[in-house]
Amino acid sequence: MRWSNYLMPTLKEPPREAQTIAHKLMLRTGLVRKLASGIYEFLPAGFKCLKKIEGIIREEMNAAGGQELLLPTIQPKELWEKTGRWSAYGKELMRLKDRNDRDFCLGPTHEEVITALIGQEISSWRQLPLLVYQFQTKFRDELRPRFGLIRAREFYMKDAYSFDANETQAHDSYDKMLATYDRIFARMALKTIRVSGETGLIGGVMSHEFMVPCETGEDEIVMCPSCNWGSNVKILKEIPKTCPRCKSKQLKREKAIEVGHTFYLGTRYSAPMDAVFTDARGKAAPFIMGCYGIGVSRIIAAAIEQSSDKYGIIWTPSIAPFQVLISALEYEKPEVKKLADTLYQELLARNVETLLDDRLQTSIGVKFKDADLVGIPVRVNIGGRSFQEGHAEIRLRKTGNTEEVELSRTTASVLKALEVNGKI
């Protein structure tokens, strides 16, 4: 993309509405804009991040045998009454009536819909285990929407549902998902801690939360660095002083952002909804279920909270909107334009996601500041003093390491930098 007509409006100062690092940086780098309280627009670069995260999750969900589908946003009241959640969900559930005065809600989660579907379509234990998932915009009318994408009323989520024939199979499915989640977050270089979590409005008998430690996190966790025991403090009657698992006395307490949540549901939904299959002995039995969420849009914010400096974002390559930024300094000069354009075309031809800063009448200082701000992993400076001396500069956003390379070797050097630094 050419920055000159790419819809990525950077701001020198963060708008007053933003309090956290990620929220400020997402607005300053033109990733998102606010439409209404808790409701955000993903601009093209923000959308690219969203798709990168989605792509990683999809690959790992497919590798775990997941089947992707798409369930409706609008759900009839009757389904939610079967599980008692129509009233239990309270004001967080966004509700509407259609033209015939029938009641519906906007799905904050899809247990009822998927349980009804699978109960209707799957009849035999031979068809189990089954794992289905979707990416979808979800809705929750938060009491206090805040921190941008962290606590939003409309958000983008991956939700998955497992259906098993018995407890043993169901625990295997659950453990497989925990391992899948570890892989997903590792590929995003997102440091997460897995803790025992609340079951809350989803229900079930056990849950795990994947937490990104962060000062502005709204959750609080306590964990043991020795044995990895961990828990959301909300589910503890009191905070233990020694680790309940290994008796270590070094328990750590920190704030965190929840990016993933898994629930072992058992028959919480299949029993009240009468979703049954025929088991190996020929008897009707309710499905044993699990459900597994990842806050896709929230991950963008969590990743930025975890990887930035005073100059801006430091993107992990696997979720960065672009891999390479060509900062064409003094793009007005024909010789700079020629080289920058050539490099741009050569990188695009190799499928390297490249942003070319071709903005005219923009000072070198502004281009440098914007480059650090938007945080693309590999940056190439073309122009200025080094150019006069026959060089381009390749600069890594993360380390700040800068290398001067001969102009004729720019493309090859960029490709090498990507190979060495671009794995995660």
Which residue ranges make up the site for a second copy (CB under 8 A)? 1, 4-7, 9, 30, 33, 35-36, 39-44, 46-47, 50, 67-76, 91, 94-96, 98-99, 104, 106, 113, 116-118, 120-122, 126-130, 132, 136-137, 139, 141, 143, 153-154, 156, 360
Write the single-letter amino acid at 34: K
Q: Residue 285's CB: how many other CB atoms inside 10 A?
A: 16
Whether the ω angle into residue 129 lies within 30 degrees of 0, i.e. cis, is yes
How far apart are CB 79 and a second copy at their closest, in Å? Answer: 8
User: Which residue, 154 or 357, is less far from a second copy as judged by CB?
Assistant: 154
Q: Across 229-287, where does the E strand assignment appear?
A: 230-232, 252-266, 276-278, 284-286
The alpha-carbon radius of gyration of the chain (Å, integer) is: 24
Residues 6+ apart with CB under 8 A from 302: 22, 150, 190, 212, 214, 257, 259
Least spacing, CB of residue 188 vs a second copy, in Å:
19
Q: State which residue, 91 or 234, has the beta carbon closest to a second copy.
A: 91
For residues 359 and 379, which CB has a smaller minimum distance to a second copy in the complex?
Answer: 359
Of 158, 157, 161, nearest to 122 (Cα)?
161
For residue 150, the minimal CB distance to a second copy (Å) is: 16
Q: In the complex with a second copy, which residue's Cβ is closer, 224 or 288?
A: 288
CB of 357: closest distance to a second copy in angstroms?
14
Considering the complex, what minimum distance in angstroms separates the CB of residue 121 from a second copy? 5
Q: Provide, rounded to whole angstroms, the least separation between the CB of residue 91 and a second copy.
A: 5
Smallest gap from Cβ 225 to a second copy, in A, equals 39
Q: Is the Cβ of residue 44 or residue 400 nearer to a second copy in the bound state? A: 44
**Alpha helix (H) residue ranges in 334-381:** 334-349, 364-374
Closer CB to a second copy, residue 129 or residue 286?
Answer: 129
Q: Are 352 and 323 in contact (CB under 8 A)?
A: yes
Torsion, CA 32, CA 38, CA 39, CA 42, rounded to 10: 20
Contact 306, 190 (CB under 8 A): yes
Q: Of 121 and 238, which CB lies nearer to a second copy in the complex structure?
A: 121
Cβ of residue 76: shortest distance to a second copy, in angstroms? 5
Q: Which is closer to a second copy, CB of 205 or CB of 280?
A: 280
DSSP string, 149-193: TTB-SEEEEEEEEEEESSHHHHHHHHHHHHHHHHHHHHHTT---E
> 217 and 234 in contact (C-beta within 8 Å)?
no
Residues 6 or more apart whose CB falls under 8 angstroms from that of 297 comprise 40, 42, 50, 149, 152, 155, 156, 157
